[in-house]
Structure 1
Amino acid sequence: MILPPVIRTVLGDVPAAHLGRCDYHEHLFQVSPLLPGDELDDETASGAEAAALRAAGIDAMVEATPTGLGRDPAGVARISAATGLHVVHTTGGHRSEHYGSGHWLTECPEAELATRFGTDVREGLPAVDARDRGAPATGPGGAPVRAGLVKAGVGYWRIDAFERRVLAAAAATAVSTGVAVMVHLEHGSAAHEVLAALATDGLPADRVVLAHADRNLDPGLHAELTAAGVYLGYDGMARHREASDSAVLDCLERVAAGGGGDRLLLGGDVARRTRYRAYGGLPGLDYLPSRFLPRVRDRLGEELLNRLLVTNPARVLALTPRADLLSAS
């Protein structure tokens, strides 16, 4: 008997068909030495931003803050319950610069990282991030808050020793648990190199999301990547110093027209206190649904927009049986 696919959220597993319109990349809690003054650490304010996202028509989001960066799984679960927003939490690690010198996570060997990330998926995320895991965080109903995605990150045209260990541990976690892997690409660099590393570790491209692909608006490169089966995350909207929304939309249109529409995801990655209205900044989490998505609908149509927001996220976030991954690797 084949069971319908499910997605692991902070409030439990839900049928993939019920996920709805998904913003694939946001942050409700985040504290990093790389981002002084931009801490997301207030549950009330972050909850207000999540509520605004939900009110603007988004049904689900990925909380993309990995290990050691101020995440609050219990707080995320409370926000999810209060807003009705499905939230998929990540485990994993970020690129090296997000961790201070001597941070305990950067000292972990690959096997320890893989065990930790896998435990986050199977048993629950720890209430407090420390090398000694301690008790798992629990949601409003008392159940453990489990991760449904594993993250890795690399620097600009660089995969250092720590980042390579995280990639390998992320791949092992994906193969053993069925979750997908999201990889932060700094300025969209090293995409092929990351895919090659993950393939060496036994993870097929169709279980990988490359975040920030649109920080390098190269439709030819994106066509190559989507043809290889990988998912590309477009999340640079409202970052007008780097590229206009129209440039992001132009690239999106060209890649979709070339056949890549089944491998594209949309998110905001607003990710800063100074960019959240509830913290006193702009433009807020609802910029994506309120300002960008209507332009996608007007230019590319409702059918493609539904694929980008509903069909594609549901496919990649669904837990994939281990046997399927092993047969593909």
Structure 2
Amino acid sequence: MTVVRTVLGDVEPAALGAVDAHEHLFQVSPLLPGDELDDPERSRQEAASLRGSGVAAMIDATPIGLGRRPAEVAAISAATGLGVVASTGIHREAHYGAEHPLRGWDAERRAAAFVRDLVEGMPEHDGPDAGPALHEGEPVRAGLIKTGIGYWSIVPFERATLVAAAIAHAETGAAIMVHLEHGSAGHEVLDLLERLGVAPARVMLAHADRLIDPGHHAELLARGCALGYDGMARWRDRSDHELLELTAAVVERGFDRILLGGDVARASRYVAYGGMPGLAYLGARYLPRLRERIGDEVVERMLVAHPRALLAIRG
């Protein structure tokens, strides 16, 4: 039997609904000074706006060591009705300072932490004296493994995380999300994970759309992986029109295993923290244009069927 493991417990995949496949309710990183997501009430308000835009659930892609606050994520999920699949894992090296304790963890220790988060539950914080994260007396468990690499680079720190992710995947069946910096090295990530025993069908390559290249995306999708398109409203880098046309071009090539998210990711882009455009942008402003461009049926697969398949885990 397979389930989707949310912060409020396991649910049948068919009950998941439309999924925003990449967001962060809490995140603290040395790469984002002054842009921390660390206020439970403001994050609750933002989650409520996402739910109000027609999205039923989200993947919270904040992994170990970046202020993920699982008990408060569960409380936000319960208060707003927004389903949340939390992440274990470790991000790319640049998110961890020179003295961060994770730098001393080998692949086996990382894998053990990932399995613990997925099976037993996450700690209330990532410090050495943390107790279990609980919601109404029940453990708050992760449902996905988040990893990351640098720009055309997989340094030893990141390779150890990918090895650990493969170990944890083999033990739990959980899917692996990989942050691609500027969309680079997708084939290389898939090659490495395949050598480690992970089928591409259990991998999502996040930020693939930061590289506008439909032929390259079709090549990746032909290998069986999922691609994360999460760059809407990033007009400094590319327009929504470019992303819509990229998506249409990939669909026209016969592929649509694309998961949609906003990766808003920082206080200056959350309305509740005083920024913009906010989590509701995906549902309220981008999805109507995407439906008009490629049709309701394809968009529903991207929002419902493909996340459901990716997030299925052994119950």
TM class, shorter-chain normalised? over 0.9
8 Å CA contact 1:126, 1:133 repeated in 2: no
| Equivalent residue number for residue 327 of structure 1 | none
SS in 2 for 1:319: strand
Distance 2:314 2:139 in 1: 21
- Residue type of the alignment partner of 1:104: P
RMSD between superposed Cα atoms in Å: 0.9
- Residue type of the alignment partner of 1:264: I
| Equivalent residue number for residue 136 of structure 1 | 132
1:88, CA displacement in angstroms? 0.1
- Residue type of the alignment partner of 1:217: I
SS in 2 for 1:36: coil
Distance 2:82 2:11 in 1: 12
Alignment of 1:190-201 (within 5 A): 190-201=185-196
Distance 2:270 2:310 in 1: 28
Alignment of 1:1-329 (within 5 A): 3=1, 5-130=2-127, 132=128, 134-139=130-135, 141-261=136-256, 263-320=257-314
The unaligned stretches of length 5 or more in structure 1 are: 322-329
SS in 1 for 2:159: helix
Distance 2:73 2:184 in 1: 30
Question: Please, what TM-score do these two structures have when normalized by structure 2?
Answer: 0.99
CA-to-partner distance for each residue in 1:140-173, whole Å, 9 max, x for gaps?
A: x210000000011000011000000001101111
- Residue type of the alignment partner of 1:99: Y
- How many correspondences in the alignment? 315
1:102, CA displacement in angstroms? 2.0
Moved over 6 A (4+): none
Distance 2:103 2:6 in 1: 27
Distance 1:280 1:175 in 2: 42
SS in 1 for 2:235: coil
CA-to-partner distance for each residue in 1:99-152, whole Å, 9 max, x for gaps?
A: 00021112100100000111000000111203x36321011x210000000011
The unaligned stretches of length 5 or more in structure 2 are: none
SS in 1 for 2:221: helix
Instruction: State the identity as a percent.
Output: 57
- Residue type of the alignment partner of 1:186: E
- Residue type of the alignment partner of 1:64: A
Distance 1:123 1:136 in 2: 9
Question: Please, what TM-score do these two structures have when normalized by structure 1?
Answer: 0.94
